[in-house]
Amino acid sequence: MSTIISASRRTDLPAFHAERFIQDVKKGYVELKHPNSSKYQRSLLPEDVLCFVFWTKNVRPLLKYLPWLTERGYSYYFQYSINNYPGHSIIEPRVPALKDTVGYVEEIERMQKGLIRWRYDTILITDECSVEWHLKNFKMLCEKMSPYTRDCIFSFCDFYGKVENRLIQNNVKYWKISNKEKIEMADKMADLAAAKDIQLLSCAHDFLVSGKIKASRCIDSAFIGGLVSDGKKDVLESLVKDPSQRKECGCMESIDIGRYNSCKHGCVYCYATE
């Protein structure tokens, strides 16, 4: 049965592993590891892939391969994180400049419309990037992204131990705002997004869901249904919620082909690197 391939929550595969990914597609399989380190293979043949979900902050290295993937019958879409933290900031030190990122999004749009799901993720409140800064920044990004997407998935920083250690080591003055403050901020973001015909979607934080904000399914069978051929639509009906994800995560089941500790963006809030 065809499977959704997540590429990848664990790393920015388009940015740093595009060549290896394409080599695996050409071979027809990818080699993965079980938790006990034993290896196994997962088919990447067109008939066995329902859809690729690319998670990225920089699609540029993969762009030249997209027509090739399309020609071979693969469906795909992008979970594209665009946050626009200040240039040369420790928060996202090696993410492309906004003008370049928007250019890459435009190039995808020229190839095929409706493939971009914008992420304003992760929201980190610091001395430099206050709530007010985020609201102003988000409004500007809504204006830039409105031609290319109809939704924006967002989440606030989860302060895992390694994330806090990294923040402290880098002398980042950060703030843990209350759930009440998050709700108030998200409400304002929803209004800014709606003004540009963008639906705000909360990723794995149900307390933020309201009349204005819906719960996100980042890997979404309904969205995928608009991309795949009729012959694969029946597979979507058999998909269930991914049991390996957090309780409030709405994603459908998938196979992730990325590797932890292999992303080079250096984002200070990242949960997938040590």
Query: Looking at residue 235, what is its pLDDT?
Result: 86
* H-helix segments, 17-97: 18-27, 60-63, 66-71
pLDDT in tens, 75-123: 999 999 999 999 767 999 999 999 999 999 999 999 999 999 999 999 9
Structural element, H or E, at residue 32: strand 29-33
* pTM score: 0.96
- Would you say 149 and 198 are in contact if contact means Cβ atoms under 8 Å apart? yes
pLDDT at position 201 is 98
Residues of the chain with pLDDT under 70: 88
Residue 15 is predicted with a pLDDT of 98
pLDDT number for residue 245: 87
Residue boundaries of the structural domains of the chain: 3-256
CATH of 3-256, one of 3.30.1330.30, 3.40.50.1970, 3.50.50.60, 3.80.30.30: 3.80.30.30
For residues 118 and 146, give the distance between their C-alpha atoms in angstroms, rounded to a whole number: 10
Closest CA to 150 of 187, 200, 184: 200
- What pLDDT score does 165 carry? 96
Q: How many CB atoms lie within 10 A of CB 74?
A: 20
| pLDDT at residue 88, rounded to an integer | 66
